[in-house]
Structure 1
Amino acid sequence: MPSPCQIPDLLAVVVAGTAGSGKSTLGRAIAETLRAPLVDLDSVTTPLLDALPEEVLGAHWLTSPHAPAIRAGRYAALRATAADALATAGRVVVVAPFTAELSGGTEWDALVAALAPAEPHVVHVDGDPAVLASRRSSRGASRDAHRPDTAPVAPSIPVTTVDAELSTAQQLARVLPSLGIRRQIDAGAEIFTREFDAVLFDLDGTLVDSTASVVRSWRRFAEHFGVSMKALHANHGQPARTLVGLLLPAERHTEALAHVTELEVTDAVGLAPVRGAAVFFASVPAERRAIVTSGSVPIATARLEAAGYERPAVFVTVDDVENGKPHPEPFLTAAMRLGVAPGRCLVVEDAPAGIVAARAAGCAVLALTGTTTEEELSADLVVDGLDAVRLEVAASGALRLVPA
């Protein structure tokens, strides 16, 4: 949890998203983390509206002929409550669909005015429409039966977008740094005294923010083959062939690997670099860096291209080794191809399996939050983004890691 001194004196966080996106869950988690009042549209207005007889409104309040006026009143109440919370507490987290507000215009202007002088930071929770519809169906809220279908909103205002496919902890790991609330760096960590000849990067969750894409692809895989998602979550960072071997009989392995490869390559669209990763990767001389991934060549190549990276000369995939992570072979292979000793390599990872592999290879490990819990990251240093550190060239010509 951040210390009070990290949180701005005046802070307004707006969490937007369609029904079923998980915006209320995320909004509550942000409010608890920031120790801020939570103002949720449903809590502020829904009990009153549900208590009104439908004959008074002409139908359920979501489909009433008076729906436009009801919406205007709901959001006016929300803005007034949020303004009071901000004025008295200095911070507030406001949760609602905000469909009109995301498009800018008068509704957005009214929200900005209500939260002044704080500048609202908007977090937009979005995801696969089929998943959101399934969540609405399973939660059993009576109002969902009256909720009209709405087209996805493409925000025209600045937002931090988080995928509904991610866990709340994974979403928080992306939202807090965007608010300027960062994990404290131990400037006295031993890793800052070491020198390195090369940097070996994991790909997914380390260079490319592909966590939601991976989860979405394997969820679809699990639905197709009727297997458990629990085993998939427990084995993040391991090769697909390992996961398939755990989940399906041998006679289905070839079919399953082809299917999940197609799913992951198809979903590798619009992926972004992890915070600070593009600059950090580019700062390593080309002849002294490698990517070491549990993905196959087609999947890894698709994700690299989607996030705008150039493929390095040393590119170790699951197709290059007999034993994938957590075995040290992938990192030992990369060090050998670069012509450096593994003990002189810095590995950048986000998954426990990768960290175990790197340590077994004798490498130092810099770990990133955002995929697994911090407690699972047994690394030499843990950061919440690669913009928290940088590399510099020592007098010896070696690379040194320093706090940014």
Structure 2
Amino acid sequence: MTSMTPVTCYVYGGGMPSSCQIPDPLAVVVAGPAGSGKSTLGRALAAQLRAALVDLDSVTTPLLDALPSEALGGHWLTSPHAGAIRSGRYAALRATAADVLATAGRVVVVAPFTAELAGGDEWQALRDAFFPTEPVVVHVDGDPAVLASRRAVRGAPRDAHRPETPSVAPAIDVLGVDAELTTTQQLARLLPALGHRRPVDPGAAIFAREFDAVLFDLDGTLVDSTASVVRSWRRFAEHFGVPMQALHANHGQPARTLVSLLLPADRHAEALAHVTDLEVRDAVGLHPIRGADVFFDAVPADRRAIVTSGSVPIATARLGAAGYERPAVFVTVDDVVNGKPDPEPFLLAAERMGVDPSRCLVVEDAPAGIAAARAAGCAVIALTGTTAEEELTADLVVDGLDVLRIEATARGTMRLAPA
């Protein structure tokens, strides 16, 4: 958890002094284009961090909207004075955020910050406003078509006057988050990076067990491909005219299962080919899940396997994009008759490795995979970040594999331990 500084607190009205905790100063900047969901994420972050929220729109837009457009020579976003208006808006934002940080100790600031992301004088002015606290920048971005669709749905009057400006990669260090993810999924990636970790119970029964092999799911477990998966299936849903709700409700199951639920039999082959092409083409710029690459490498090569609901082309593309070496035992949906939540994939992996399934440790992120592993008799670690935590009925739930380590025993087996 984030470090806390103990101080003496007093209760007004005659209460006795007591010890309490005041958090270390924290400034989080949430940046991104219109429609990216940065305001929603900023509000959620502020609630989780117990920080004050300062949003550029809340601070400046009501005043600007009240000014007559004829006095500005047009809407304030497009008037001849737009440059000066921007400078004034951001000066007001910086001053307000600086006051909040100085008095409350924690602040989440939300704005597009387009110029600030490019570095230079605007970025330095923002840093100076928070000095000596160095701001952490969260950058939310996504498919331009999705952002445009969201702006159209929300119908904010200012969006009709907003000039189209293409997204540019930030020139400063940021915590990038995809707008395709839900707010809960975004928080699951950001909070650990901000020092807010899910506690690990050192007395959990799983730490007393020994294992002969570790079986890893792929998507959301080794590779942070959730946004890529959602984006691909959203495009699939748009192409075939099917509801996205059915896709979200069946995460972790094979594509052929989803297709069979959504489309008539005479379109299954076409649909599978289409979604495979979408997912392979989108498998670029992917990264390992927090701590997953180190944990994976720590398991001896002959003791680890990947068990995925993806096909060979999709799984191979994502492994390569995230920089993983393909293990000798690599079970995909193409190898089994019954995919997750059926235990067949994990039973097949254990058989190929020559080990008893009850002596296998499975790392998963989805209810379907957890159910499959449990039915196979395996112990299960579940990772947050894809599915609501209450659905992860595993032996141990963690927010990253960096909180765990694998240890070799004198008997040639492996044990799990807190890092």
TM-score of the superposed pair, with normalisation by structure 2: 0.95
CA-atom RMSD in angstroms:
1.3
Query: Aligned pair 1:270/2:299, yes or no?
Result: no
1:367 maps to: 382
1:37 maps to: 52
SS in structure 2 at match of 1:62: coil
Which residues in structure 2 correspond to 1:18-167 (within 5 Å)?
A: 18-167=33-182
Which residues in structure 2 correspond to 1:188-267 (within 5 Å)?
A: 188-267=203-282
1:380 maps to: 395
Structure 1 residues 3 and 224: CA distance shift in structure 2, 3 A = farther
Q: Structure 1, residues 358-385: CA drift from partner, whole Å, max 9, x if none?
A: 0000000000000001100000001100
Which residues in structure 2 correspond to 1:163-174 (within 5 Å)?
A: 163-174=178-189
Q: Structure 1, residues 314-343: CA drift from partner, whole Å, max 9, x if none?
A: 000000000000000000000000000000
1:298 maps to: 313
SS in structure 2 at match of 1:346: strand
Bigger CA drift: 3-12 or 241-250? 3-12
Distance 1:337 1:34 in 2: 46
**By how many angstroms is 1:400 displaced?**
0.5
Distance 1:314 1:8 in 2: 47
Distance 1:366 1:397 in 2: 21
Aligned residues: 404
Distance 2:52 2:349 in 1: 49
Distance 1:400 1:335 in 2: 17
**By how many angstroms is 1:4 displaced?**
7.0
Q: Structure 1, residues 60-107: CA drift from partner, whole Å, max 9, x if none?
A: 000010001000000000000000110111100000000000011000
Contact 1:2/1:33 (<8 A) preserved: no
**Percent identity over the alignment?**
81
Contact 1:19/1:132 (<8 A) preserved: yes
Which amino acid letter does the alignment assign opposite residue 225 of structure 1? F
Contact 1:2/1:34 (<8 A) preserved: no
Q: Structure 1, residues 244-272: CA drift from partner, whole Å, max 9, x if none?
A: 00000000000000000000000000000
Specify which of 198, 201, 204 is matched with residue 186 of structure 1.
201
SS in structure 1 at match of 2:126: helix
Structure 1 residues 7 and 108: CA distance shift in structure 2, 3 A = farther
Contact 1:7/1:181 (<8 A) preserved: no
Contact 1:7/1:34 (<8 A) preserved: no
Q: Which runs of 4+ in 1 moved over 2 A?
A: 1-8
* Structure 2 residue ranges without an equivalent (≥5): 6-20
* Structure 1 residue ranges without an equivalent (≥5): none
Contact 1:11/1:91 (<8 A) preserved: yes
Which residues in structure 2 correspond to 1:311-322 (within 5 Å)?
A: 311-322=326-337
Contact 2:4/2:24 (<8 A) preserved: no
Query: Aligned pair 1:358/2:399, yes or no?
Result: no
